[in-house]
Amino acid sequence: MSEMTVHTEHAENAGQTAGGEKKEKKKISLSFIQPSGAITLGNYLGALKNWVAIQDSGDFNCLYAVADLHALTVRQDPKGLRSQIYQGLAVLLGCGIDPEKSIVFQQSHVHQHAELAWILNCYTMFGELSRMTQFKDKSAKYADNINAGLFTYPALMAADILLYQTDYVPVGQDQKQHIEIARDIANRFNGIYGKTFTIPEPYITKSGARIMSLAEPTRKMSKSDTNKNAVITILDTDDEIVKKFKRAVTDSGSEIRMGEGKDGINNLICIYSAVTGKSTEEVEREFEGRGYGDFKLACGEVVADTVRPIREKVNEYMRNKDYLDEVCRKGAAMASRFAQRTLEKTYKKVGLVVPKSE
């Protein structure tokens, strides 16, 4: 499960003001980060930066989670996975997610995700799962470990979404299939038992930069790329970032201008634009008459300036795992209370006996 943001209406926010007027429902933003490798510049600019903006807008109640259960579809080194989970939490906080404003937790700490996933497994068709692109891709990549979890992970992803009665799911184009199957599962369940889940709508985000590989600019920058010079991570040092930009693939010519067939320079302009907030036209004017060498150095320096405070905060949080544990403990308790309402509603619909609270 890659980075994903979901927006939903939280019924608990509906009510009346002291004067009797009906309060407008406040949206909930729920976002997941995969604990697998260092977050790239593309992940930050395309997703995490937007998550912080959603939080700081004041228009949403926000929840952020590390999707540790999804990581288990690939065989993990236990010690390494624990480190990646902590790093995922540290990255969320280092990028600007504030546990005083938002709920931050580990997916596995909210047991309702796994419980609802089992029920949804029973309402998900074999043919639907076999058509999932990620299953096909990972089956080819990990041919010696084509496990049941890898096959049925869309039911867990659907549970992640449906637990919070999601209305809209802003995702990249490559994640649209996951929303479609969640819709199919929800529609099937609602058709049998009556309205239980809100049907989520995919919203393909147009904002947020699409950052490409520095070595192969026709491919998206990916944390799984084996060529480390192709990827900028938010844990890279200033020197590493500048060196990677100096080695970045460009095109014939030297003009700093967007153009057809100029994938390398187009990518660098997009990066510079996303980091500085300047338009493409402003970037072209700024570097008019200057060559690729100057522009690569400038890109490296502005990205290093952007990444540095994030890296420093992440490293600081990683030295204080007790604090990360406390953030997760409080966050999981709050998320669980909301998720439990949906789970109990689902239990009743299918005929299970809901445990009586003491």
For residue range 137-173, list pLDDT tens digits in order. 888 888 888 899 999 999 999 999 899 887 777 666 6
Residue 215 lies in a domain: no
Residue 223 lies in a domain: no
Q: Please give the Cα distance from 54 to 119 (Å, whole number).
A: 31
- In this prediction, residue 317 carries a pLDDT of 97
Are residues 279 and 143 part of one domain?
Answer: no
Is the pLDDT at 22 greater than 60? The verdict is no
Residue 356 lies in a domain: no
Are residues 234 and 273 part of one domain?
Answer: yes
Q: Please give the Cα distance from 312 to 239 (Å, whole number).
A: 15
Torsion 9-13-14-20 (CA) sign: negative
308 membership: H or E segment, kind and range:
helix 292-318
Is the pLDDT at 2 greater than 60? The verdict is no
Are residues 25 and 88 part of one domain?
Answer: yes
* 220 is known as an active-site residue: yes
- In this prediction, residue 136 carries a pLDDT of 82
Are residues 304 and 159 part of one domain?
Answer: no
- Weakest-pLDDT range from 77-91, 117-131, 172-186: 172-186
Is the pLDDT at 274 greater than 80? The verdict is yes
Is the pLDDT at 103 greater than 50? The verdict is yes
- In this prediction, residue 54 carries a pLDDT of 83
CATH number of the domain to which 280 belongs: 1.10.240.10
Residue 93 lies in a domain: yes
For residue 149, the enclosing domain spans 4-209+321-350
Residue 23 lies in a domain: yes
Residue 143 gets the label, from left (phi > 0), alpha (psi -120 to 50) or beta, of: alpha
CA atoms within 13 A on the CB side of 215: 11
R_g of the chain computed on alpha carbons: 22
Are residues 21 and 146 part of one domain?
Answer: yes
Q: Can you list the positions of beta strands (E) in the chain? A: 4-9, 15-16, 22-23, 27-33, 60-66, 103-106, 166-171, 201-204
Are residues 232 and 179 part of one domain?
Answer: no
Are residues 191 and 108 part of one domain?
Answer: yes
Q: Please give the Cα distance from 232 to 221 (Å, whole number).
A: 8
Share of the chain above pLDDT 70, in %: 90
- In this prediction, residue 24 carries a pLDDT of 65
Is the pLDDT at 18 greater than 80? The verdict is no
CATH number of the domain to which 8 belongs: 3.40.50.620
Residue 91 lies in a domain: yes
Whether 60 and 54 have beta carbons less than 8 Å apart is answered as: yes
Residue 115 lies in a domain: yes
Give the pTM: 0.88
- In this prediction, residue 10 carries a pLDDT of 47
State which of 138-142, 304-308, 352-356 shows the largest mean pLDDT: 304-308
Are residues 148 and 31 part of one domain?
Answer: yes
Distances from the Cα of 153 to the Cαs of 63, 160, 163, 294, 317, in angstroms? 21, 11, 15, 46, 30
Distances from the Cα of 129 to the Cαs of 175, 263, 292, in angstroms? 15, 35, 47
Is the pLDDT at 283 greater than 90? The verdict is yes
Q: Please give the Cα distance from 121 to 314 (Å, whole number).
A: 36
* 138 is known as an active-site residue: yes
Catalytic residue among 220, 246, 330, 349: 220
Is the pLDDT at 31 greater than 80? The verdict is yes
- Our count of domains for the chain comes to 2
Q: Report phi then psi at 65, rounded to 5.
A: -135, 150
Mean pLDDT within 262-269: 94
Are residues 346 and 272 part of one domain?
Answer: no
For residue 305 the two structure tokens come to 């300036």
Catalytic residue among 25, 26, 101, 223: 223
Catalytic residue among 138, 244, 262, 296: 138
Are residues 325 and 196 part of one domain?
Answer: yes
Mean pLDDT within 52-77: 90
Are residues 277 and 205 part of one domain?
Answer: no
Mean pLDDT within 333-337: 94
Are residues 76 and 122 part of one domain?
Answer: yes
Residue 357 lies in a domain: no
**Count of CB atoms situated within 10 Å of the CB of 341:** 14
Q: Which residue has the higher pLDDT, 229 or 7?
A: 229
